[in-house]
Amino acid sequence: MCGRFAITLPHDAMAQLFDALPANDLPEVPNYNVCPTDPIHVATAGRRLVSMRWGLIPSWYEAPNDGPLLINARAEGIEHKAAFRQAVRERRCLVPASGFYEWTKDTDGNRLPWYITRRDGAPMALAAIWQDWGREGERQPTVAIVTTAANAEILSLHNRMPVILEPVDWPLWLGEAGPGAARLLGGAPDGTLDYHRVDPAVNSNRARGPHLVEPLAA
């Protein structure tokens, strides 16, 4: 899955990365502990860089908490899930991330956080889908990150991982290059990612600061 991530790129760097026009209300960066329900950066079709709430809210919810918090959408069968099928056909997007977190447990049940990045140091572009939600004329764009089975590297930490797309595939996922986006829903190739242990301080969604992604001292 993908339940927490970091984004450290300045707004102009994100806009340049996606060749996108940035909105005026983008979330503050850097953010080393992006959590569900936070506003996050999203690159949409039409190459706009905008802010959306992390946690897709289906159109039939009467309130944001009317059902499960849909921060992730499983790639397997996504086109058949009522909450996701229209969005994956019509509203695909990209979420920039510098890295994401995953957790294991020690023999005492303590949660041990790990920070995962691209081996080449490049930012990640996570496949995602979005949905407008609102009542009484107020609309809120909401987004879910698409996940898939973990590759060989991440499998030792978790059996799921976000779908990480290469730049050559961004136009296809965004619907700018014709049909065929479904074939992009696999995991990153083995050898793409690195990870290291980080301070358990990140277990708190209130934790902030660059120390959260630094390797834990031995």
Residue 218 covered by a domain: no
**CA gap 160, 150 in Å, rounded:** 5
Q: Which tens digits make up the pLDDT trace of 52-96?
A: 999 999 999 998 999 999 999 999 999 999 999 999 999 999 999
pLDDT at 187: 80
CA end-to-end distance (rounded Å), the chain: 27
Q: Is residue 210 part of a domain?
A: no
**Is 211 part of a structural domain of the chain?**
no
CA distances from 133 to 14, 61, 127 (A): 25, 8, 20
Residue 161, amino acid: M
Q: Is 180 helix (H, G, I), strand (E, B) or coil?
A: coil
Give the DSSP per-residue string, 28-46: PS-EEEE-TTSEEEEEETT
35 annotated active-site: no
- Tell me the longest C-alpha to C-alpha distance in the chain: 54
Q: Tell me: the pLDDT tens digits for 112-162?
A: 999 999 999 999 999 999 999 987 777 899 999 999 999 999 999 999 999
Give the structural domain span for 155. Answer: 5-203
pTM flag (> 0.85) = yes
Q: 140, 57 in Cβ contact below 8 A?
A: yes
CATH number of the domain to which 16 belongs = 3.90.1680.10
pLDDT of residue 212 exceeding 80:
yes
* Per-residue confidence (pLDDT) for residue 218, from 0 to 100: 63
Q: What angle do CA 102, 105, 110 make, to 5 degrees?
A: 110
Q: How far apart are CA 51 and CA 92, in angstroms?
A: 15
Considering the domain boundaries, does residue 28 fall inside one? yes
For residue 35, tell me if it sits in a domain.
yes
**What percent of the chain has pLDDT above 70?**
100
Burial profile 181-213: b = 16 or more Cβ within 10 angstroms, e = fewer = beebbebbeeebbebeebbeebbeeeeeeeebb
Residue 58's identity, in one-letter code, is P
Residue 73 lies in a domain: yes
Please report whether residue 213 resides in a domain: no
Beta-strand pair 39-44/48-54: antiparallel
215 in any annotated domain: no
In the predicted structure, residue 1 carries a pLDDT above the cut 80: no
- Residue with the bigger pLDDT between 139 and 211: it is 211
Catalytic residue from among 2, 62, 79, 153: 2
CB-based contact 4:100 (threshold 8 Å): yes
Mean pLDDT rounded to a whole number for the chain: 95
Domains of the chain: total? 1
2 is a catalytic site residue: yes
CB 115, CB 199: distance < 8 Å: no
Task: Output the CA–CA distances (angstroms, integers) from residue 25 to 12, 22, 29, 81, 198, in the order listed.
Answer: 13, 9, 12, 31, 31
Which of these is catalytic: 102, 136, 153, 166? 102
